[in-house]
Structure 1
Amino acid sequence: MNTDTGASPEDLRNRLVDAILQQDPSGLRDARVESAMRTVPRHAFLPDAPLKEAYANKSVTIKENPDADALPLSCASQPDVVHFMLVQLAVREGDNVFEIGAGTGYNAALLQHLAGSSGHVTTCDIDPDVTAYARRMLDANGCDDVRVVTRDGALGTEEFSPYDRMIAAVGMWDLPGTWWDQLAVGGRLVVPLRWRGLSRSVAFRREKDRMTSDSVKMCGFLPVIGQDGERNDYIDDDRLVRLYWDEDQPITPELLRDALTGPKSVVWTDATVGPVESFDGIWLRLSATERATCRITANPAAMEAGLHRPASPALSPALVEGDSIAYLTVERTAEDPVTEPRFRLGAVGYGSAGADLAERICAQIRAWSPARTVEPSITAYPADTPDTALPDGAVIDRPSVRLVITY
Structure 2
Amino acid sequence: MTKHSIPHELRNHLVDQIVKASPPGLYDTRVEEAMRAVPRHDFIPRASLELAYANQAVTIKDNPDPDALPLSCASQPDVVFFMLAQLGIQPGDNILEAGAGTGYNAALMRYLTGPAGSVTTLDYHEDVAAHARQRLDATGFGDVRVLTRDGALGAPEYAPYDRLIATVGVWDLPASWWEQLAVGGRMVLPLRWRGLTRSVGFVRETDRLRSESLATCGFLPMIGQDGEREGYVDESRLVKLYWDADQPIHPLSLRRSLAEAEEHLLWTDVVVAPEEPLDGIWLRLSALDPATCRITVRPEAFTGTAGLHRPAVPALSPALVEGDSLAYLVLEPVDVRSGKRYRLGAAGYGPAGQGLAERLSVQLRAWGNDRTLLPSIAAYPSGTPTGNPTDGQIIDKPSVRLVIAY
Q: Residue 231 of structure 1 contacts residue 247 of structure 1 at CA under 8 Å; is this kept in 2?
A: yes
2-side partners of 1:318 and 1:385: how far apart? 29
Q: Secondary structure at the match of 2:249?
A: coil
Q: Secondary structure at the match of 2:266?
A: strand
2-side partners of 1:158 and 1:391: how far apart? 37
1-side partners of 2:390 and 2:29: how far apart? 36
Aligned AA (1:281): G
2-side partners of 1:365 and 1:103: how far apart? 38
The question of 1:286 aligning with 2:260 is answered: no
Structure 1 partner of 2:309: 308
Aligned AA (1:54): A
Q: Secondary structure at the match of 1:223?
A: coil
Q: What TM-score do you get using the length of structure 2 for normalisation?
A: 0.97
Q: Residue 102 of structure 1 contacts residue 131 of structure 1 at CA under 8 Å; is this kept in 2?
A: yes
Structure 2 partner of 1:319: 320
Find the partner of 1:111 among 93, 109, 112: 109
Structure 1 partner of 2:76: 78
2-side partners of 1:401 and 1:390: how far apart? 16
Q: Residue 378 of structure 1 contacts residue 406 of structure 1 at CA under 8 Å; is this kept in 2?
A: yes
Residues 330-373 of structure 1 deviation map (CA, whole Å, 9 limit, x = unaligned): 1100376xx43110111000000001000100100111111111
Offset, 1:24: 3.3
Find the partner of 2:154 among 134, 150, 156: 156
Find the partner of 1:221 among 199, 219, 232: 219
2-side partners of 1:258 and 1:24: how far apart? 45
Structure 1 partner of 2:21: 23
The question of 1:45 aligning with 2:43 is answered: yes
Structure 2 partner of 1:373: 372
Offset, 1:22: 1.6
Offset, 1:115: 0.5
Structure 2 partner of 1:140: 138
Find the partner of 1:244 among 229, 242, 245: 242
Structure 2 partner of 1:351: 350
Q: Residue 26 of structure 1 contacts residue 217 of structure 1 at CA under 8 Å; is this kept in 2?
A: no
2-side partners of 1:148 and 1:140: how far apart? 14
Residues 56-89 of structure 1 deviation map (CA, whole Å, 9 limit, x = unaligned): 0000000000000000000000000000000000
Aligned AA (1:325): L
2-side partners of 1:139 and 1:260: how far apart? 56
Q: Secondary structure at the match of 1:342?
A: strand
Residues 273-298 of structure 1 deviation map (CA, whole Å, 9 limit, x = unaligned): 00111121110010011110000001
2-side partners of 1:239 and 1:228: how far apart? 22
Change (3 A) 1:221 1:257: same
Q: Secondary structure at the match of 2:246?
A: coil
2-side partners of 1:50 and 1:27: how far apart? 32
Offset, 1:154: 0.5
Offset, 1:259: 1.3
2-side partners of 1:228 and 1:57: how far apart? 30
Change (3 A) 1:75 1:101: same
Structure 2 partner of 1:129: 127
Structure 2 partner of 1:186: 184
Q: Residue 391 of structure 1 contacts residue 404 of structure 1 at CA under 8 Å; is this kept in 2?
A: no
Change (3 A) 1:346 1:389: closer
2-side partners of 1:370 and 1:247: how far apart? 32
Offset, 1:237: 1.5
2-side partners of 1:116 and 1:291: how far apart? 45
Offset, 1:386: 2.1
Mapping of 1:379-390 within 5 angstroms? 379-388=378-387
Q: Secondary structure at the match of 1:249?
A: coil
Change (3 A) 1:330 1:16: same
Q: Residue 245 of structure 1 contacts residue 294 of structure 1 at CA under 8 Å; is this kept in 2?
A: yes
Aligned AA (1:402): R
Structure 1 partner of 2:166: 168
Change (3 A) 1:298 1:83: same
Offset, 1:300: 1.3
2-side partners of 1:269 and 1:61: how far apart? 41
2-side partners of 1:104 and 1:300: how far apart? 36
2-side partners of 1:389 and 1:308: how far apart? 38
Q: Secondary structure at the match of 2:176?
A: helix
2-side partners of 1:181 and 1:377: how far apart? 23
Mapping of 1:82-97 within 5 angstroms? 82-97=80-95
2-side partners of 1:341 and 1:86: how far apart? 36
| Pairwise CA RMSD | 1.2
Structure 1 partner of 2:256: 258
Structure 2 partner of 1:404: 403
Change (3 A) 1:87 1:391: farther
Aligned AA (2:55): N
Change (3 A) 1:330 1:391: closer
2-side partners of 1:137 and 1:298: how far apart? 41
Offset, 1:387: 4.4
Unaligned runs of 5+ in 1: none
Aligned AA (1:183): L
Q: What TM-score do you get using the length of structure 1 for normalisation?
A: 0.97
2-side partners of 1:389 and 1:107: how far apart? 40
Offset, 1:236: 1.1
2-side partners of 1:297 and 1:26: how far apart? 29
% identical aligned pairs? 62
